Amino acid sequence: MRRAEDHPSRRAFLGAGATVLAAGLTAACEPGAARPDQRDAPPATTAVPPTGPHQAGITLPREAQPNLLVVVADVVDGTAVGALLAELGEAVRALASGTDSRSLGLPPGDLTVTIGVGPRLVRLADPALPGAVDLPRFSHERIAPHARGGDLLVQVCAGDAVVLSIVAAALLDQAGDRVRERWRQSGRRGSAVPVNQDFTAPRNVFGFIDGIVGPQTDAQQRRDLWLAGPPPVAGGTLAVFRRMELDLARFAALPVADQEAVFGRRRDDGAPLSGGTIAADPHLGAKTPDGRYLIPADAHLRKAHPNAAGVGLMLRRSYSIDDPAPGLLFVSFQNDIRTFTTTLTRMDNGDALLPFTTTTASASFLILPGFDHQHPLGATLFRQRSERVGAPTPTT
């Protein structure tokens, strides 16, 4: 096991160097960046504990940090998965506390790291567990083989954009030659807009407020977000990551009224076209005097609404991206993968938003339950640290 004081590998830092540079160039544009008259007063951040019943970076902090970096990797055959995850968990604890020398002296601030395992690793633990099934293919996809699926997710979020790549490089260094990176994506959230007194949502790349509907209360999160069982996954959740290129020029050329018809909400304040405020429940049956739906039949709000799809709530987040092309990284957390697949299948059938999108990367993961010093990351799934990827599955 590598120690925190070991020097980071040249390979890991070379792989992250370009992203560090990009993060530094864009940091001044982030919502938390200091204005010229505040250069000596960096924004205050509150540390987020990495341990607990759930991993950080999902509901903690309550308002997601503005910067994200996702790394998706494969685990090399022959790797002892339990030992790898336990080491990564210890590295996360050290990085979050600022005691790992590989953080290069940068304060962690509100850093969170969230780690998940893909379907192949879930099947290694138990093929019957949630997260063991690969995502199906959908329309409006142009995904290269290396950008579909993956064994290991590392999601890094922070208010300081420079922290992201340094932390990711440290974790890849910890994993060493036991993992091979598939793809990575950095992103940033738009400016936050109040939805109610306890909740805000950002604007997406299309200019609309995004992620308004989701499991916000503790009761909703117990029902739709966190896995209650089986015991090996209790406290975890399921995540979907989809990178999309967007036809921004064609969308921007639409009149505002047509843009609003695509989304089913007003662009300026996020209110549903059926009326009320941004927080109002959409009235999907409301019609004009001549019988037309106020929220059009093909509007994204109608097609993706959980009541219309007959599924639970998703905790949805979107991040704007510039590379490899202008677009967004869509992230959803839910305790039943059918919440996502049923919704997207319904959207495939005539959602007005989808023709403006092309998905170029897609993966799903079981987000591991929370961990602490006495309960290593991944120990509930991989009780035997010697259990190895690629080994024959035991028969009974």
- The answer to whether 341 touches 136, Cβ cutoff 8 Å, is yes
d(CA 353, CA 261): 10
> Is residue 372 packed enough to be buried (19+ CB in 10 Å), middle (13-18) or exposed (0-12)?
middle
Cβ neighbours of 79 (radius 10 Å): 21
Q: What is the chain's percent helix, strand, coil content, to nearest 5? A: 30, 20, 50
Instruction: State the distance between the two ends of the chain, measured CA to CA, in whole angstroms.
Output: 33
Q: Tokens 């064609």 sit at which residue?
A: 250
| The two three-digit tokens of residue 156, written as one number | 């890094």
User: What is the pLDDT, as a whole number, of residue 1?
Assistant: 45
User: Letter for the amino acid at 118?
Assistant: G
Question: What is the three-class DSSP state of 126?
Answer: coil
Beta bridge partners, 71, equal 154, 184
What is the pTM for the complete model shown? Answer: 0.87
The domain ranges of the chain are 10-33+49-367
pLDDT by residue for the chain (396 residues), tens digit each?
A: 444 444 444 344 334 444 433 334 333 334 344 444 444 444 557 999 999 999 999 999 999 999 999 999 999 999 999 999 999 999 999 999 999 999 999 999 999 999 999 999 999 999 999 999 999 999 999 999 999 999 999 999 999 999 999 999 999 999 999 999 999 999 999 888 999 888 899 999 999 999 999 999 999 999 999 999 999 999 999 999 999 999 999 999 999 999 999 999 999 999 999 999 999 999 999 999 999 999 999 999 999 999 989 999 999 999 999 999 999 999 999 999 999 999 999 999 999 999 999 999 999 999 999 999 999 999 999 976 667 888 654 443
Q: What is the sign of the dihedral through the CA atoms of 179, 99, 57 and 375?
A: positive
